């Protein structure tokens, strides 16, 4: 046994220490009754108030995730007051934020930009403020106007234009020094100082030394200054790191809380917003008091039980309602104790399985192919678990939420996939009882093509395993298990994940991999099914959470095959067909499982079981996406600030595991995600070790190893492959896109180029090694060009069809030229005929 028991204990206790550190209580002062009261307050203000008070209430609803009929209400406002400055800016601002699609949002942003460009406009200041708040990069859209304003008088228009000009600079690493420098000048008036402080608090970060200066300015600002509360609010919200426990912050908080009974509604509103963003449970009674209008300063127009508030009182109440809802969004959710017990028992169980099967491996064939006589149903489930992986388990629900069910239409291609793979590819592999699929390439095309295929395969699987670790840890483990997303924590968690997988894989070989894959398939599908059941119980029926129509944020439904469209029905069918055929016909992990069965019939059965299980899993995960989307649309309080179901689709399933599932079930589904990750990692470790051993080490070793050393060498290879994969996972974060896009860009980059080699070797009789080599290289060049440079406008999800077509055409043309013009007679058909003659003589 390669992995010693102390190493097992090290991984186990390392994970246990992470558990104890991450296990915290979930606390929230906001009950369902108070939440409903806050919603009704916003609705009441939105219904009965006018102009900017109404705008504030509308924005609070949008920011809280309860857009409801806000867009429709403000369409009517636009009809009535669309030409009334400056209120029209507020109307367009609300419509832009509540728009159901990007084109509608852009329509209203253009109106605001036009108002900003008008030098004689009555609402130019409001337009500049709105563009700043909405994050529009105005310096790029109106450079002449911005330059002219920033060179002119330092008034309100200057402050808001300066703020707006910082949008988009450095994609988040913004230089806020101009605003901070303005706050420190002694010549500014109190109005612009207030506006600059208000702009600065939207920054989100400020250096420690600068924060100390800001805090000092806030405390020293005269009490009667309109800017004081905004300076206090900015300092309170921007405090982080070592400033959180400083005496300065304690004093700022004390002075800020004194403003809860201030006569100015602006002071009370700003104080409430600060508490909502950075306050704690101690502040909740203050916000509740403001919500219910218990202060003695503002007297409503009618009784407290009436439907109408005075404008000032309404603005304060609406702000307090939003602050309460914002405070609830800041709540941290953690797994409960019993959830951790389930997860830990699961991980320990995997290591026990590896140890048990280590006793049954007598030789290298037992380790790599399970003896060649494994149960086809078990192997089929293993193949399903391998091909699905945690990447699909996490990305499919997010893809459904963000883009709709188009990608899932690809399952309609499964019958054709089964026919092509089962009757055209599998028979060719089963004729040659080889350990590595790439021996076939050498037989048909020579050593150079075998080495190119090995390079493609290892690149594919190393990137695949690295992506599994990265996405599982950064998307699921960090959010579900409640760890901070620091680099050290990510590495430590990744180490534990790959460590457990290495232990049971290196001990048990393919038998352990297949056995644990069967268990993990059940856990994975069970977790998805439990999610659907829980949401159905919450809504009272299965059909209640299904959307009644095509949702606007899914975009337009397209049917044909269009390379320049992200996804259509035709694209999904083509992409699914190519992926399954290419993976089954060239990937050692698939071919290894075909060869692990007893005969051709069993191999076909294995692939059929894999497809059936994949169909069930994809259907379940698609329904999981719809169920989770419906749940968060009904419960936006569980979304973090500035999150929505459309913009943060990939994190909703992991989030639901924490907030929507009962204790114990959360742990089971979390274990399911770990199961899917480790299932694929274990298969990847086994397959890559097999290829390196059979295609590289055995091929080029100078003298044969003794049989007793072969098994130890394979286990050591699995360990080294796992460590290299761990390091590679740290670099995947540089790839842009949602989870599904990242998977296609990174994981599927080499799928088509690898299959090009097998297609040429199996089906093109005049193919030559030089021609196929050119086709393979050309295919990977096309894949990279589409994935990272969007060559010819081809969308990222069309990588595989484009790379496959380019590789086959280039390979066939190059082979034809090689044979007809260069006189090369080393073709596939000639090599096979020569081998046949040699075998018969």
Domain that holds residue 433: 337-835
Q: Distance (Å, rounded) from C-alpha 613 to C-alpha 616?
A: 5
In a domain, 541, yes or no: yes
Q: Return the pLDDT at 272.
A: 93
In a domain, 124, yes or no: no
For every residue of 676-702, DSSP letters joined together read HHHHHHHHHHHHHHHHIIIIIIHHH-S
In a domain, 176, yes or no: no
pLDDT digits (tens, 9 = 90+) for 488-504: 777 777 877 777 777 65
Q: Return the pLDDT at 516.
A: 63
CATH classification at residue 681: 1.20.1730.10
pLDDT lower than 50: segments of the chain: 1-27, 170-173, 295-305, 307, 361, 363-372, 508
Q: Which residues pair with 743 in a beta bridge?
A: none
Q: Which residues pair with 827 in a beta bridge?
A: 768
Structure token digits, residue 678: 């480790």
User: CA-CA distances (angstroms) from residue 145 to 115, 157, 177, 291, 827?
Assistant: 11, 11, 21, 41, 68
Q: How far is CA 4 from the centre of its chain?
A: 36
Q: How many CA atoms lie within 13 A of 832 on its CB side?
A: 15
Q: Return the pLDDT at 378.
A: 58
**Predicted TM-score of the model (pTM):** 0.76
Q: Distance (Å, rounded) from C-alpha 442 to C-alpha 435?
A: 13
Own/partner pairs, 245-248, CB within 8 angstroms, 24+ separation: 246/215, 248/212, 248/215, 248/216, 248/219
Q: Return the pLDDT at 369.
A: 45
In a domain, 433, yes or no: yes
**H runs (alpha helix) in 166-283:** 177-184, 190-200, 208-220, 228-238, 247-257, 265-278
Distinct helix (H) and strand (E) counts, the chain: 39, 0
The answer to whether the CB of 121 falls within 8 A of the CB of 115 is: yes
pLDDT digits (tens, 9 = 90+) for 61-90: 999 888 778 999 999 999 999 999 999 999
Residue 93 φ/ψ region, left for φ over 0, alpha for ψ in the -120 to 50 degree band, beta for the rest: alpha
The answer to whether the CB of 475 falls within 8 A of the CB of 650 is: yes
Q: Return the pLDDT at 336.
A: 79
Q: What are the φ/ψ torsions at residue 795 (nearest 5 degrees)?
A: -75, 155
In a domain, 321, yes or no: no
In a domain, 282, yes or no: no
In a domain, 516, yes or no: yes
- Count of domains for the chain: 1
The answer to whether the CB of 596 falls within 8 A of the CB of 610 is: no
Residue with tokens 């199996």: 762
Q: Return the pLDDT at 748.
A: 84
* Residue 303 CB-density burial (10 A; 0-12 exposed, 13-18 middle, 19+ buried): exposed
In a domain, 307, yes or no: no
Structure token digits, residue 791: 């060559």
Q: Return the pLDDT at 669.
A: 77
Structure token digits, residue 656: 């639901």
């Amino acid at each position: 046994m390669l992995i010693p028991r102390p190493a097992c204990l090290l991984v186990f206790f390392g994970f246990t220490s992470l558990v104890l550190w991450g296990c915290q209580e979930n606390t929230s002062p906001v009950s369902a009754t108070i939440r409903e009261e806050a919603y009704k307050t916003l609705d009441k203000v939105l219904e009965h108030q006018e102009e900017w008070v109404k705008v504030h209430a509308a924005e609070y609803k949008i920011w809280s995730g309860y857009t409801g009929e806000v867009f429709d209400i403000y369409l009517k406002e636009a009809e009535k007051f669309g030409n009334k400055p400056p209120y029209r800016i507020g109307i367009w601002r609300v419509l832009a934020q509540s728009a159901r699609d990007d084109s509608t949002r852009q329509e209203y942003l253009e109106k605001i930009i036009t108002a900003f460009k008008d030098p004689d406009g009555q609402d130019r200041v409001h337009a500049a403020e709105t563009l700043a708040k909405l994050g529009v990069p105005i310096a790029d859209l109106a450079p002449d106007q911005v330059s002219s304003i920033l060179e002119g008088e330092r008034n309100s228009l200057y402050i808001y234009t300066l703020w707006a000009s910082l949008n988009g600079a450095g994609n988040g690493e913004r230089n806020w020094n101009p605003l901070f420098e303005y706050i420190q000048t002694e010549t500014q008036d109190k109005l612009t100082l207030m506006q600059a402080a208000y702009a600065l608090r939207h920054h989100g970060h400020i250096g420690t030394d600068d924060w100390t200066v800001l805090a000092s300015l806030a405390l020293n600002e005269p009490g009667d200054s309109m800017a004081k509360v905004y300076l206090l609010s900015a300092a309170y919200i921007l405090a982080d790191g070592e400033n959180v426990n400083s005496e300065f912050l304690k004093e700022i908080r004390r002075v800020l809380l004194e403003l809860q009974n201030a006569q100015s509604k602006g002071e009370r509103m700003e104080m409430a917003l600060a508490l909502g963003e950075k306050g704690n449970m101690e502040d909740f009674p203050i916000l509740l008091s403001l919500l219910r209008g218990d202060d003695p300063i503002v007297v409503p127009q009618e009784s407290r039980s009436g439907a109408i508030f005075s404008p000032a009182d309404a603005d304060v109440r609406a702000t307090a309602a939003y602050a309460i809802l914002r405070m609830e969004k800041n709540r941290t959710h953690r797994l409960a104790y019993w959830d951790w017990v389930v997860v830990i028992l699961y991980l320990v169980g995997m290591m026990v399985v590896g140890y048990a099967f280590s006793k049954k491996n007598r030789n290298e064939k037992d380790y790599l192919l399970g003896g060649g006589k494994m149960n086809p149903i078990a192997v089929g489930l293993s193949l399903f678990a391998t091909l699905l992986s945690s990447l699909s388990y996490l990305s499919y629900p997010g893809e459904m939420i963000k883009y709709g069910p188009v990608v899932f239409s690809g399952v309609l291609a499964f019958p054709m996939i089964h026919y092509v793979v089962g009757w055209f590819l599998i028979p060719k592999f089963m004729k040659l009882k080889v350990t590595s699929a790439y021996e076939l390439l050498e037989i048909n095309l020579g050593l150079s093509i075998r080495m190119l295929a090995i390079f493609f395969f290892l690149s594919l699987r190393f990137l695949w395993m690295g992506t599994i670790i990265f996405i599982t840890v950064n998307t699921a483990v960090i959010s579900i298990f409640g760890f901070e997303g620091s680099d050290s924590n990510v590495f430590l968690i990744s180490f534990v994940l790959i460590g457990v997988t290495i232990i049971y894989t290196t001990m048990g070989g393919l038998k352990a991999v297949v056995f644990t894959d069967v268990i993990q398939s059940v856990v994975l599908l069970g977790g998805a099914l439990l999610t659907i059941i829980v949401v159905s119980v919450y809504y009272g029926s299965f059909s209640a959470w299904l959307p009644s129509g095509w949702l606007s944020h899914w975009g337009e439904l397209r049917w044909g095959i269009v390379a320049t469209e992200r996804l259509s029905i035709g694209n999904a069918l083509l992409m699914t067909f190519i992926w399954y055929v290419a993976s089954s016909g060239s990937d050692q992990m698939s071919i290894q499982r075909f060869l692990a069965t007893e005969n051709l019939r069993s191999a076909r059965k294995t692939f059929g079981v894999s497809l059936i299980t994949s169909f069930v899993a994809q259907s379940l995960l698609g329904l999981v996406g719809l169920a989770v989307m419906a749940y968060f649309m009904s419960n936006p309080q569980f979304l973090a600030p500035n999150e929505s179901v459309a913009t943060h689709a990939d994190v909703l399933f992991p989030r639901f595991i924490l907030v929507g599932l009962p204790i114990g079930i959360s742990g089971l589904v979390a274990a399911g995600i770990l199961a899917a990750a480790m299932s694929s990692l274990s298969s990847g470790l086994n397959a890559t070790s097999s290829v390196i051993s059979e295609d590289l080490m055995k091929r080029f070793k100078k003298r044969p190893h003794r049989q007793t050393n072969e098994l130890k060498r394979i286990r050591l290879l699995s360990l080294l492959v796992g460590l290299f994969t761990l390091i590679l996972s740290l670099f995947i974060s540089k790839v842009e896109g949602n989870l599904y896009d990242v998977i296609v860009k990174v994981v599927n980059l080499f799928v088509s180029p690898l299959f090009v080699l097998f297609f040429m070797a199996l089906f093109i009789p005049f193919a030559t090694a030089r021609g196929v080599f050119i086709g393979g290289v050309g295919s990977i060049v096309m894949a990279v060009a589409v994935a990272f440079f969007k060559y010819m406008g081809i969308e990222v999800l069309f990588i595989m069809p484009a790379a496959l077509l380019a590789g086959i055409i280039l390979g066939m043309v190059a082979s034809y030229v090689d044979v007809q013009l260069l006189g090369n007679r080393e073709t596939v058909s000639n090599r096979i005929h020569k081998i046949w003659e040699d075998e018969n003589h």
